[in-house]
Amino acid sequence: MKDLYDCVVIGGGPGGCTTAALLAEARCSTLLIEREKVPRFHVGESLMPETYWVFERLGVLEKMKQSSFIKKLSVAFVSHSGAESNPFFFKEHDPRECSQTWQVERGEFDKMLFDNAAEKGADCVDETRVLDVLFEGDRAVGVKLQLADGSSSEVGCKVVVDATGQQALLANRLGLKVDYPDLQKVAIWGYYHNARRDPGEHGGATIIMHTSGKKSWFWYIPLREDITSIGVVGERDYLVQGRGAPEEIFEDELVKCPALVDRLMNAELTSEFRVAKEFSYKTTKRAGDGWVLVGDAWGFIDPIYSSGVYFALKSGEHAADAIVAGLRMGDTSAAQLGGWLDDFHGGTKLIRKLVDAYYTNEFSFGRFMKAHPEHRGKLTDLLIGRIFHDDAGKIFDDMEPALAEAKQAALESRL
């Protein structure tokens, strides 16, 4: 580790590793810091197909193809009545190879990206904690570290990248983090062996299942060695307020989801239940002089469409390009480092709209698609992450009026 770098990247997840790898590849001196020992556990196993292009650029696509990660070729949804949608097979929308993606164990996946950054020339250290980001006025100029042996050190740099995930180091330090008041969710999840999977190509699908009262939903994500990640998500006040232990809450919600009960008839829980609370938030400023946010440090919407890793990879790619250009021009201002953010935010807002539609209990995606079959391809575009183009949001020209009508009809029925 040196005393001075072009860039210090804080956080060894997908966003930080992507930024560090591309910076190092561009011959910018880069330090990548992870506070935990690599590999480390992390939730968020399901990938969107559009991650393909970032993998290709990073040079890890062949590693992904040769890995034993479960192939994800489709998604499906189960309504509160137990009716399962026809699978959304990505290749029916786009027959190219990029329509295949994976269900990953994040410890191994993140380590692959961490090692890739090192192979490209970044200095990568784990078990190292960033105690503070150093500023001169409003400009970030370095970091204060606590090393694995307990000693402290300061490292200077021209740019600091905060990729600390939901720790959101800079956003919390600068008072930039704002929770979404309408997305105060809690997730409880565990890992099961021998949960029933569908035969054939749909066997690796992510399945989203509403419970009977539509007050919660389950994710079902098949992993290797016949392990399945299964979690329940609901409003904080409903899911945990005044209720029992996580395993008791999980079981209470499970009986409200017969489709999942059926899949777990011969399954065995192989882990403890984990809990994540109040994980949906945004940031009011995403770049400043000498600093920029990527991945979950930038913000997190909701786990329902598995967009988190994709947004981390994509934001890391954009941030790296802006930093490389800025370093070459001698411009590491907020305007330069954050020049990509408006377009990126525009794409992520489409996923936020889709999340809002899912949580509108009066609205039925099934009815909407029957009324507007011409939008099936546009909906699949959103589900695969193909959102950063001008026509990506056309589906909402019809969906937003349908949402308003559904809400009005429900209101009138209660009068």
Q: By C-alpha distance, which of 350, 351, 331, 348 is closest to 339?
A: 331
Handedness of CA 371, 372, 373, 378 (dihedral sign): negative
Residue 413 is predicted with a pLDDT of 67
293 has a pLDDT exceeding 80: yes
Tens-place pLDDT, residues 78-97: 998 888 888 889 998 899 99
- Find out whether 113 and 18 touch, Cβ atoms under 8 Å: yes
Tens-place pLDDT, residues 33-60: 999 999 999 999 999 999 999 999 999 9
Query: What token pair was written down for 285?
Result: 């400023």
Average the pLDDT over 329-335 and give the result: 98
Residue 414 is predicted with a pLDDT of 62
Q: Please tell me the distance from the alpha carbon of residue 263 to that of residue 245, in angstroms, as a whole number.
A: 23
Q: Please tell me the distance from the alpha carbon of residue 386 to that of residue 378, in angstroms, as a whole number.
A: 9
Residue 53 is predicted with a pLDDT of 98
Residue 111 is predicted with a pLDDT of 98
Residue 318 class from Cβ within 10 Å (0-12 exposed, 13-18 middle, 19+ buried)? buried
What residues does CATH 3.30.9.100 cover in the chain? 185-277
Tens-place pLDDT, residues 161-182: 999 999 999 999 999 999 998 8
- Find out whether 218 and 251 touch, Cβ atoms under 8 Å: no
407 has a pLDDT exceeding 90: no
Side chain identity at residue 119, one-letter code: E
Superfamily for domain range 4-69+105-179+283-345: FAD/NAD(P)-binding domain (3.50.50.60)
What residues does CATH 3.50.50.60 cover in the chain? 4-69+105-179+283-345
- Find out whether 332 and 158 touch, Cβ atoms under 8 Å: yes
Residue 415 is predicted with a pLDDT of 54
Side chain identity at residue 189, one-letter code: W
Q: How confident is residue 278, by pLDDT bands cut at 50, 70 and 90? A: confident
Q: By C-alpha distance, which of 76, 307, 112 is closest to 208?
A: 76
Q: How confident is residue 301, by pLDDT bands cut at 50, 70 and 90? A: very high
Q: Which fold has domain 185-277?
A: D-Amino Acid Oxidase; Chain A, domain 2 (3.30.9)
409 has a pLDDT exceeding 80: no
What region does 365 belong to: left with phi over 0, alpha with psi -120 to 50, or beta?
A: alpha
279 has a pLDDT exceeding 90: no
Q: How confident is residue 324, by pLDDT bands cut at 50, 70 and 90? A: very high
316 has a pLDDT exceeding 90: yes
Please state which of the ranges 122-136, 251-265, 331-345, 396-410 shows the lowest mean pLDDT: 396-410
Q: How confident is residue 286, by pLDDT bands cut at 50, 70 and 90? A: very high
- Find out whether 297 and 160 touch, Cβ atoms under 8 Å: no
Query: What token pair was written down for 188?
Result: 């409880």
Helix %, strand %, coil % of the chain (to 5): 40, 25, 35
Q: Please tell me the distance from the alpha carbon of residue 289 to that of residue 173, in angstroms, as a whole number.
A: 15
- Find out whether 165 and 13 touch, Cβ atoms under 8 Å: yes
Q: By C-alpha distance, which of 395, 159, 193 is closest to 288?
A: 159
Please state which of the ranges 109-113, 288-292, 386-390 shows the lowest mean pLDDT: 386-390
Tens-place pLDDT, residues 7-31: 999 999 999 999 999 999 999 999 9
Q: By C-alpha distance, which of 199, 189, 198 is closest to 270?
A: 189
* DSSP characters over 38-71: SS---S--B--TTHHHHHHHHT-HHHHHHS-PEE
Q: What is the DSSP letter of 271?
A: S
Average the pLDDT over 394-401 and give the result: 96
Query: What token pair was written down for 413?
Result: 């029925």
Q: Which residues pair with 154 in a beta bridge?
A: 144
Tens-place pLDDT, residues 190-228: 999 999 999 999 999 999 999 998 999 999 999 999 999
